[in-house]
């Protein structure tokens, strides 16, 4: 598992037998990526957000985040937004933000449609780590390096 060096409190992947190593390095996009034993790095990254991070990124940090998504798109990288909180919890808003929860849900769906930023919602950090590992394990089983159209949906 490749973990961005700017990730302040990385997720714990130590309980997963398929994760043989956790390497901290600067990723150009996202917070988590994988490198398979054959050296292949699929063009998919996970961007982790706590509820507070999500509201900050989608409001004050929105211009920077859109630039990051555009850069990822130019590199052919798919970004999956892993949110630490349920969809319903996101919709209830965040106590330190004046931005309404329903507006946040609409924005997330618009970004999914416009930029391909697929959000997934996780009840906690443990579930988030599990979802990331399961995704990359499934991707590895598909052997997408032999058939890139599985990734892009082409």
- Give pLDDT tens digits for 24-40: 999 999 999 999 888 88
* 3 beta partners: 24, 32
Q: What is the pTM of this model?
A: 0.88
The SS3 of residue 103 is helix
pLDDT tens digits, 115-141? 899 999 999 999 999 999 999 999 988
Q: All domains of the chain, ordered by start, with CATH?
A: 2-152 (3.40.50.10130)
Strands (E) across 51-124 are located at 78-84, 118-122
Q: What is the pLDDT of residues 70-120, one digit of tens each?
A: 999 999 999 999 999 999 999 998 888 888 889 999 999 999 998 899 999
């Amino acid at each position: 598992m490749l973990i961005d060096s700017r990730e302040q409190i990385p997720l714990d992947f130590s309980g997963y037998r398929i994760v043989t190593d956790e390497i901290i390095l600067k990723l150009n996009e996202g917070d988590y990526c994988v490198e398979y034993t054959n050296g292949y790095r699929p063009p998919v990254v996970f961007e982790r957000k706590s509820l507070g991070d999500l509201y900050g990124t989608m409001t004050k940090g929105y211009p920077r985040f859109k630039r990051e998504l555009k850069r990822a798109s130019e590199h052919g990288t798919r970004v999956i937004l892993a949110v630490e909180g349920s969809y319903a919890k996101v919709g209830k808003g965040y106590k330190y933000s004046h931005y309404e929860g329903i507006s946040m849900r609409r924005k997330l769906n618009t970004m999914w449609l416009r930029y391909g930023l697929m959000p997934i919602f996780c009840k906690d950090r443990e579930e988030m780590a599990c979802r990331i590992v399961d995704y990359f394990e499934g991707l590895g089983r598909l052997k997408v390096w032999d058939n890139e159209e599985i990734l892009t949906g082409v």
